[in-house]
Amino acid sequence: MKRIIHTPNAPAAGGPYSQAVEMNGTLFVSGQIAIDPATGKLIDGDITAQTHQVLRNISAILDEAGYSFVEVVKSTCYLSDIADFQAMNAVYAKYYFENQPARAAFAVKQLPMGALIEIETVAMK
CB 70 within 8 A of CB 98: yes
Number of domains present in the structure of the chain:
1
Residue 14 pLDDT? 87
d(C-alpha 102, C-alpha 39), whole Å: 32
Report CA-CA distances (Å) from 77 to 19, 23, 71, 87, 106: 16, 23, 17, 13, 7
Could you count the other beta carbons within 10 Å of the beta carbon of residue 49? 14
Q: What is the mean pLDDT of the chain?
A: 97
Q: Does position 68 have pLDDT exceeding 90, yes or no? A: yes
Instruction: Count the alpha carbons within 13 Å of 76 in the hemisphere toward its beta carbon.
Output: 9
* Residue 82, domain CATH: 3.30.1330.40
What is the SS3 assignment for 121?
Answer: strand
d(C-alpha 98, C-alpha 111), whole Å: 29
- Biggest alpha carbon distance in the chain? 41
Average pLDDT over residues 22-42: 97
- Whole-structure pTM value: 0.97
- Let me know the angle formed at the C-alpha of 46 by 99 and 8, rounded to the nearest 5 degrees: 65
- What percent of the chain stands above pLDDT 70? 100
Range of the domain at 13: 3-124
Average pLDDT over residues 5-16: 95
